Amino acid sequence: MTFLDNLATGLSVVANFEAILALVIGVAVGTVAGAIPGLSATMAVALALPFTFAMEPITGILLLLGVYKGGIFGGSIPAILIKTPGTPASSATVLDGHPMAERGEAGRALTMALYASCTADLVSNLALILFAGWLASFALSFGPPEFFTLILFSLTIIAGVSGDSLLKGAFSAILGLLLATVGLDLVYGTNRFNFNDPNLMGGLNFIAVLIGLFAIPEILAMVWDPRSQDGRVSPVANNRVTFADYRRCFKSIMRGSLIGAILGSIPGIGAAPSAFLAYSEARRTSPNRENFGRGEIEGVAAAEAGNNGVAGATLIPLLALGIPGDVITAIIIGAFMIHGLQPGPMMFVMNVDIVYGLFVGLIVSSLALLLIGSVAIRGFRFVAHIPRGILFPLVLVLCVYGCFAVNNSVFDVGVMFVMGWLGFLMLRFDVPPAPFLVAFILGPLLEDNFRQAMLMSGSSPEILFRGPITWFFWTLTVVTVVAIVRTGLRPTPPRAA
């Protein structure tokens, strides 16, 4: 059968009321779950899994994919409105989204986040349909040395999120790397900085760190100086994204979409590093780079394109190789197996109707995300009208609930508050939190892949230069570091009197 014949078969599988309804409901549920701090897309997909057991295979899997895609976008709503990322993938959106909200441009930021998300989602889905086989074989060529050089290059994005002071950004990143070492050593299983406390054996919970670092400092700042929050967020006016705005950001959106598609096809990377890398690349190449971190709409577009570009691409290793691309697709692979489907190369032979049905459903999901996202933006508009004295206690309750719900752990709530005080001190001394978060995410990946590479080679560093992929990322790293140094050494123009 030709590609068009397979696509027609897939369309016939999806073209029924139950499948489309499940997809739409999934996107809606995911958007709401993503908008609640702490209730990540992963948790939403896990909670939705039992509802798929009695459904037809294509209907159940489309429901989960809808929850996944809606959850990734939904996290941008609180990130922009109340500086609290709904999901880890939305952490980079805070950097420019919330400053825009403080200027009364929350509607513009939310609309751009939606358009960038839908564009990136469509690009990612097309990458899955057209390049699944090639990207899957490319992902297979990644071993620990390739992962190490990729993550080392990704760490250079710290310079792009360090604000005005690279030194303060480096200090924040070192602190993030230090706290990322807490827990069990994944290679030898020994304790590291956990003080023999069982609660720390798994390390610091990422959701607790994320919420504590971004949301709690805002609440503490209001308690410290209640008047400082007066007028911080203006109502969400009818400020919309114009075609000129979208056209200006289009290059960053496409670049972020491709970064997300490539990183999404590599198992284990995730949406948060992709969002930060897309944001950093947009800042590096933008003529408005000085506005990044102060409410630049291009920063919102790049961050949302980066994290949504991952969504479809994570299905590439799942469908082509039977390997889950991230935690969420690991849950979705359970839905395949429950219905007697085994993802992998043979699925394109034995269940080609299901595969192409998913392809068609993913394209429809981009349209569903655009429609439901537009409704969600209007629905959450009232948040900006709530007085800060009422809104912040509600945010605190949501933060505590979301943090506790991850592991049903009071200890995680304590970690959240400790990280909140640390974030408050960083806020008082103008130390940027974004480098901390980037290092906290990428540090363990960097260490684990370096140590695995050393074990493979008998401690010979030559393995880190073993092929074209490693050389490619070494070259990118060197070029980026040189560019950072040159920018740092460039004399600052005198301010006008």
pLDDT, tens digit, for every residue of 477-490?
Answer: 888 888 777 765 55
Distance CA(331)–CA(353), nearest Å, equals: 22
- Residue 314: which residues within 8 A CB-CB, separation 6 or more? 264, 265, 324, 325, 326, 328, 329
CB–CB of 289/252 below 8 Å?
no
Q: How far apart are CA 68 and CA 70, in angstroms?
A: 6
Phi, psi angle pair for 75, to nearest 5°:
-65, -20
Closest CA to 464 of 230, 145, 120: 145
- Which pLDDT does position 257 carry in this prediction? 92
Return the closest-CA partner of residue 68 out of 90, 50, 46, 85: 46
Element (H, E) at 184: strand 183-184
Q: What is the pLDDT of residue 386?
A: 65
The answer to whether the pTM exceeds 0.85 is: no
pLDDT of 347? 75
Q: Which two tokens stand for residue 19?
A: 């499948």
Average pLDDT over residues 51-55: 83
Least confident of 158-162, 386-390, 461-465: 158-162
Q: What is the mean pLDDT of residues 274-282?
A: 87
**Of residues 255, 227, 183, 248, the one with CA closest to residue 415:** 183
Res 39: pLDDT: 65
Going by C-alpha positions, the residue among 49, 29, 32 that lies closest to residue 86 is: 32
Which amino acid type is present at position 373?
Answer: G
- Give the residue extent of every domain in the chain: 3-489
Give dist(CA 385, CA 389) in Å, integer: 12
pLDDT for 231 equals 45
State phi, psi for 183 to the nearest 5 degrees. Answer: 120, -165
- Which of 100-104, 162-166, 323-327, 395-399 has the largest mean confidence? 100-104
